[in-house]
């Protein structure tokens, strides 16, 4: 088998095929389902491992099918796609374990895990997409695969949240599609190339290119939850915790942010985008989102809602880094794709554990929870400190590079205040939670405590995932300068974007 032409396709298939089979499994066949889930996740891990090694050594992996002349479904691996694929593969693996534990006794598990796998396949597909056409296909597939997950619980609140999600994302998808078609008409098939492809177009197309950029960013901005396109995200937190984790850290929000990175760097080219004066508006939009999300998070008592607004804010760090010209800021933005994912998934896992184990959904119910659930709360603490940017958790690396990049680009006068204000606000909505959890007295009874089943504070399947991702978040910051760290990989990406 020739890996160089099949590996990207195999990586998508490794979750797609098990997912399709799972749909047809009977509800009771738990063993087969778990085997398929974990088998697929493990196979993907191995395949991605091979790909990381290959891309680092400048090997080429590309899978393509020509659908019609000029329309090619193409997957390929470059440094940026490998970063995103690795992130989603590792976090998918952990989330699958978590979801198996979380949904142990709930109905409709085959449907759930089927869509769960499709969701990850779509994410990996858009990460590996070699051209805009393929990207759009997977982007829309992601919308459709996620809707049933948000609606999974089936109560009115869930249906309502899912409907809002669908309206927003289909609208965004339409804008993206329009932009992509228009761009196809202007420039022909658009392949992602490091350094961008549009700068060679004649100057009379520039005004069209600007409008196309607006459409593309609007379409991507919905999933990336840029203000004012963010309205669906806080509503979608009605989904079960593993879905929220996936939505916020791996798939949906990340797909939007990743798309913005792709469009700016590999379609327009960052310098060309700067020449067209497109970066500053994007940067301002990101800055507004960062501050707005944090301010909204302050007043949320529902823990998952607070985390959702925190996502709104944090994901825009990626857009901010992208909108700041220069390799250092690029590193800061791209590395946050990984950092935000690992930290936020930890927080959502922990929130899920509180809800599932003790029935705690609100910040105001979290008094003394650190004593009852020390492992989970320790993981939550790591995630929260990372979000604020306290070393050695990963977040400080992002802040360091974004700040440095802003200085290099001469944009420090507005980027640095945004970073500092956001950090202060993050501290203002996370530290009181930690204070409650560790320093206040626990209530006599928890809202809805499940009886202890084992040696741990909760079941093993719920306990280990947040601990594992917290360790990852800590390691990403602690060993930031080590080989193969997210930071090193982001440096590789920036190097390839700016030197070609």
Residues that bind another protein (CB under 8 A): 298-299, 301, 363, 374, 385, 389-392, 396-397, 399-400, 403-404, 407-408, 416, 420, 423-424, 427-429, 431-432, 435, 438-440, 477-483
d(CA 290, CA 269) in angstroms, rounded, equals: 24
Would you give the DSSP letter of residue 129?
Answer: B
- d(CA 365, CA 368) in angstroms, rounded, equals 9
Q: Which is nearer to another protein, 299 or 453 (CB)?
A: 299
Taking the complex as a whole, the smallest distance from the CB of residue 317 to another protein amounts, in Å, to 15
Q: How far is the CB of 356 from another protein (least distance, A)?
A: 24
Q: Which long-range contacts does 233-236 make (Cβ < 8 Å, 24+ apart)? A: 233/308, 233/309, 233/311, 233/312, 234/296, 234/305, 234/308, 234/309, 234/312, 235/160, 235/161, 235/164, 235/165, 236/150, 236/161, 236/162, 236/164, 236/165, 236/308
Closer residue to another protein in complex, CB, 46/424? 424
Kindly tell me the burial class for residue 1, based on how many C-beta atoms sit within 10 Å of its own C-beta (0-12, 13-18, 19 or more): exposed
* Least distance in angstroms from the C-beta of 403 to another protein: 5
Contacts of 148 (CB under 8 A, 6+ apart): 111, 115, 162
Please, what is the minimum distance in Å from the beta carbon of residue 359 to another protein?
A: 21
Nearest by Cα to 492 from 158, 86, 30, 166: 86
Alpha carbon dihedral 328, 334, 337, 342, in 10-degree steps, equals -50
- For residues 262 and 361, which CB has a smaller minimum distance to another protein in the complex? 361
Q: How many CA atoms, within 13 angstroms, populate the side-chain half-sphere of residue 214?
A: 8
Name, in order, each residue with C-beta under 8 angstroms of 309's C-beta and a sequence gap of 6 or more. 233, 234, 293, 294, 296, 297, 300
Nearer to another protein, 240 or 375 (CB): 375
Give whichever of 182 and 438 is closer to another protein, judged by the CB atom: 438
What's the closest the beta carbon of residue 51 comes to another protein, in angstroms?
23
Smallest distance, another protein to C-beta of residue 407, A? 4
Name the nearest CA neighbour of 175 among 229, 236, 121.
Answer: 229
CB of 292 to another protein, least distance (A): 15
C-beta closer to another protein: residue 113 or 429: 429
The least distance separating another protein from the CB of residue 354, rounded to whole angstroms, comes to 17
Smaller CB separation from another protein, 181 or 428: 428
Residue 397 CB contacts under 8 Å (≥ 6 apart), including other chains: 335, 339, 476, 477, 480, 487
Sole residue written with tokens 């599932």: 356
Of 245 and 419, the one with the shorter C-beta distance to another protein is: 419
Q: How far apart are CA 296 and CA 307, in angstroms?
A: 10
Nearest to another protein of 364, 448 (CB atom): 364
Least CB distance to another protein at residue 50 (A): 24
Structure tokens, 363: 């910040």
Burial 223-234 (b: 16+ CB within 10 A, else e): bbbbbebbbbbb
- Return the number of the residue (54 or 391) whose C-beta is nearest another protein: 391
Supply the DSSP symbol for 192.
-
What is the smallest separation between the CB atom of 472 and another protein, expressed in angstroms?
A: 16
- The residues that bridge with 129 in the sheet, in sequence order, are 75
């Amino acid at each position: 088998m020739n890996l160089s032409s099949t590996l990207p396709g195999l990586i998508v298939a490794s979750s797609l095929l098990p997912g399709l089979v799972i749909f047809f499994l009977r509800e009771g066949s738990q063993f087969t389902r778990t085997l398929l889930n974990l088998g697929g996740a493990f196979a993907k891990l191995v395949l991605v491992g091979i790909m990381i090694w290959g891309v680092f050594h400048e090997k080429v992996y590309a899978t393509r099918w020509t659908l019609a002349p000029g329309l090619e479904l193409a997957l390929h691996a470059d440094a940026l796609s490998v970063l995103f694929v690795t992130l989603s593969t590792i976090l998918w693996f952990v989330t699958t374990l978590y979801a198996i534990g979380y949904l142990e006794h709930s109905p409709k598990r085959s449907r759930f895990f089927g869509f769960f796998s499709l969701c990850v396949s779509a994410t990996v597909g858009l990460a590996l997409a070699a051209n805009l056409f393929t990207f759009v296909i997977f982007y829309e597939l992601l919308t459709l695969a996620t809707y049933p997950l948000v609606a999974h619980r089936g109560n009115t609140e869930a249906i309502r949240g899912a409907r809002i999600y669908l309206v927003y994302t289909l609208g965004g998808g339409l804008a993206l599609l329009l932009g992509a078609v228009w761009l196809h008409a202007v420039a022909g098939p658009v392949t992602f190339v490091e350094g961008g492809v549009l700068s060679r177009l004649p100057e009379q197309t520039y005004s069209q290119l600007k409008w196309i950029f607006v459409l593309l960013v609007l379409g991507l901005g919905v999933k990336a939850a840029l203000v004012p396109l963010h309205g669906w995200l806080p509503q979608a937190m009605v989904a079960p915790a593993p879905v929220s984790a996936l939505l916020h850290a791996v798939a949906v929000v990340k797909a939007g942010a990743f798309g913005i990175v792709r469009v700016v760097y590999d379609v327009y080219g960052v310098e060309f985008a700067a020449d067209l004066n497109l970066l500053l508006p994007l940067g301002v939009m990101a800055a507004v989102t960062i501050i707005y999300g944090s301010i909204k998070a302050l007043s949320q008592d529902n823990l998952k809602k607070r985390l959702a607004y925190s996502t709104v804010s944090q994901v825009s760090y990626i857009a901010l880094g992208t909108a700041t010209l220069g390799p250092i800021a690029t590193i800061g933005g791209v590395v946050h794709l990984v950092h935000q994912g690992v930290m936020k998934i930890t927080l959502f896992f922990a929130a899920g554990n509180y809800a599932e184990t003790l029935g705690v959904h609100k910040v105001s119910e979290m008094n003394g929870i650190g004593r009852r659930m020390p492992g989970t709360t320790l993981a939550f603490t790591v995630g929260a400190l990372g979000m604020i940017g306290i070393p050695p958790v990963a977040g400080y690396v992002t802040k360091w590079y974004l700040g440095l990049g802003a200085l290099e680009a001469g944009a420090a006068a507005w980027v640095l205040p945004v970073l500092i204000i956001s950090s202060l606000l993050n501290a203002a909505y996370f530290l009181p939670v930690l204070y409650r959890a560790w320093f206040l007295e626990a209530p006599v009874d928890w809202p809805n405590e499940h009886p202890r089943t084992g040696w741990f504070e909760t079941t093993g399947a719920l306990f280990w995932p947040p601990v594992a991702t917290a360790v990852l978040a800590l390691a990403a910051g602690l060993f930031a300068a080590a080989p193969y760290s997210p930071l090193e990989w982001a440096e590789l990406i920036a190097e390839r974007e700016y030197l070609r």
